[in-house]
Amino acid sequence: MGDDNVIKFGKAKKALARKAKDQQAEANRVKFGRTKSEKQHDKLKADKLKRRIDDHQTDR
């Protein structure tokens, strides 16, 4: 038996935590890494879409 099949749980646990931290950092870069004009543009698009949907609803 060689030592090739040995898993060190401490290293595996740290690698898993590092991977989760990197994924969270990537999500934060997407969420917070936009310019003011990009945010305004997205807000205007969302408002326009909401207005369009609200205008097409019928009152009961």
Task: Return the half-sphere exposure (C-beta side, CA atoms, 13 A cut-off) of residue 48.
Answer: 6
Which residue has better confidence, 58 or 41?
41
pTM for the whole structure: 0.47
pLDDT in tens, 2-33: 567 888 999 999 999 999 999 999 999 888 88
The conformation of residue 59, written as its DSSP 8-state character, comes to P
